[in-house]
Amino acid sequence: MSYLLYPGCALEASSSHYGKSAKATMAALGSGLRELDQWSCCGATAYVGTDEDKAVAYSARNLALAQSEGATDLVTACNGCYVMLRKANACWNASPTLQARVSKALGSAGLKYDGSVRVRHLAEVMLNDIGVEAISARVKASLSGLKVAAYHGCQISRPFDDVENAERPTVLNKLLAATEAEVVPFPMTAKCCGGMLMTTRRDVALGLVKSILACARAKGADCVAVACPLCCVNLECYQESIRSELGWDKPMPVVPFTQLLGIALDVPPEELGLDQCMVDVEPVLARYL
Amino acid sequence: MDSAPTPNSLSEELVKELDSIPEGDRIKLCIQCGTCSGSCPTSSAMDWSPRQIIAALRAGYLDEVLRTNTVWLCASCYVCTARCPIGIQFTDMMYALKRLGLKHGIDPPDTRGSRLMKEFVAEVDASGRNAEASMLTKYFLKADPLGGPANLGLAYRMWRKGRLKLRREPFAAKDQLAAISRSLGGDS
C-alpha cells in the first residue's frame, strides 16, 4: 500500500536524513510514501502560540489537500506535525465555532475539508499496518548485539494518547525488536527534549538533553533511536557543549529509527543518509553494514 | 497592537480564550495539588510554577502572569495535561497566554521566546514553510546577537552534512495561504 506523506519543514532540512531513510525503509517494506503536493507548514508550536485560527487553518489546508487527492490517511514522521495536524482534525469534532471559521477560510482559498482524513505517525503505520511479523520476515541483516535506547519524545503520545500510552509509548521498542536489536529499558523515553527552548533558552534545554543522554548511557545503550526531527537535532547536535560535563570521552550516536530499520532491511547506507549523522555512527553501526 | 488593556478587560479576554479550549473552564476546579509543577520538566527555571500560575490567574493577576518567564518556558510536552487529575489542559492554556501577551505587547523581561515565535510566523507567512536557516538567522540577529555567533560552527557542520538548507524551496500556493489569512483577519 502506498501512503501520502506530509514531510514537514524539518524533514526536508535539519533532519533530511530522517526523511530520506523514511522513504527508503518504507519502500523496502513494500510500501510507498509519496509526498503531499504543495504542502505548507503545520504551524508548529510557534504558530498556535501566536494565532490559533490561522494555525489550525494552515494545518487544515494540508488535510484538505490530502482529501482532494482521495487519501484516507496522511502520514507524518514528525511528532510536532503529528500533534498540529491532529489538533486541526480535533476541531472538526470539538470546536464547531472554530471549525466554521476555518472552513470559511479554506473556502476562500478554494478548498474544502470534512474532518475525515486520519493523521498518523509513520512509526505507528509501520507497527499497525505492516506489523512486526512482516518486518521481521524481511530483515536481512540482524542488528543482534546492538543496544538501543528508544526515545519517543513527547508529542507522539501527548496530548493524543489514543494510539500510544501517554507516558509509556512502546511503538519504537516493538519496531526495533523486529530487527533483533536489544532495546534497553529507558525510563526517559517520553521526557521532553526541550523543543524550541534549544534556541531561546539553551541552558534549560541542554539540562534536559543531558539527563536524557546520561540515562541512555547508564542503561548501556550504544545509540539512541528517535522518531521526531526536533528530538533528533536537540539530542544529537549539541553534544560537544555538554560532553565534558557528562564526563564522556566519546559521543552518543542519535539516529532516526528508520535508519536502524533500513540497515536491518539491507537498504544501502547512502539511501539512509547515514553519512549525514552529526555524531559518527561508524563505531557502533559499521559491523552491521 | 490594541489600545492599552486594563486588568479587567484582560481577564475577560482570557476567559474568552479559555472558552475556546475544550473544557478550558476546568481551571476553576484546580485543587492546587501541584502535580503539574512536579511533572513539568522546566518548572525549576520558572518564575512561577504551573500551580502558582493557576492560583494567580484565579486571583485575577493576569497582567503579572504575562510578565513571568513561565509562559515562554513551556516547551509543549503536555505532561502536565496528561497527569492533571481534574483534566486541566495546562499546555493549551500556556498557548492562550502566549497569544494574549503577544496581542497586547506584554512581555517578560526576557523576550527571546516571543521573538522566536514572531520570526517563525513571519517566515511561514512569507514562504509557506519554515526555512529554518533564514528564520534562525533573523532571530539571532534581532533577539540574541551575542548568542548567535556561537551557532555558526554548528551551522557550518550541519550544512556540510546536508542538514542546513540555505535556499528556500519554491512554494507555489502562497495565494492560498494569503486568502486563508485574509479570511481570518490576518494581514499577510
Helices A229-237, A239-246: crossing angle, 10 deg rounding: 50
Residues A81-95 pLDDT 10s: 999 999 999 999 888
3-state SS, residue A28: helix
CB contact under 8 A, A200 and B72: yes
Residue B186 has pLDDT above 70, yes or no: no
Residues B96-122 pLDDT 10s: 999 999 988 999 999 999 999 999 999
Closest CA to B51 of B62, B61, B67, B37: B37
Residue A271 has pLDDT above 70, yes or no: yes
Residue with more model confidence, B15 or A24: A24
Phi, psi of B175, deg, nearest 5: -60, -40
Question: Looking at residue B188, what is its pLDDT?
Answer: 47
CB contact under 8 A, B42 and A54: no
A141 shares contact with chain B (CB less than 8 Å): no
CB contact under 8 A, B163 and A61: no
Residue B24 has pLDDT above 80, yes or no: no
* Closest CB to B121 among A50, A98, A161: A50
Question: Looking at residue B22, what is its pLDDT?
Answer: 63
* Closest CB to A105 among B73, B121, B184: B184
Residue A239 has pLDDT above 50, yes or no: yes
Question: Looking at residue B2, what is its pLDDT?
Answer: 47
A93 shares contact with chain B (CB less than 8 Å): no
Complex ipTM value: 0.95
Residue A256 has pLDDT above 90, yes or no: yes
Segment B18-43 shows an average pLDDT of 88
Distance from CA of A178 to the nearest CA of B (A): 28
Cβ-Cβ contacts under 8 Å for B182 (sequence gap 6 or more): A108
Distance from CA of A121 to the nearest CA of B (A): 17
A7 shares contact with chain B (CB less than 8 Å): no
pTM for the structure as a whole: 0.95
- Range with the lowest mean pLDDT among A137-141, A197-201, B6-10? B6-10
Q: Note every long-range contact of A94-103, with CB atoms under 8 Å and residues 24 or more positions apart, other chains counting.
A: A94/B22, A95/B20, A95/B22, A97/B20, A98/A52, A98/A53, A98/A56, A98/B20, A101/A53, A101/A57, A101/B184, A102/A53, A102/A56, A102/A57, A102/A60, A102/B184
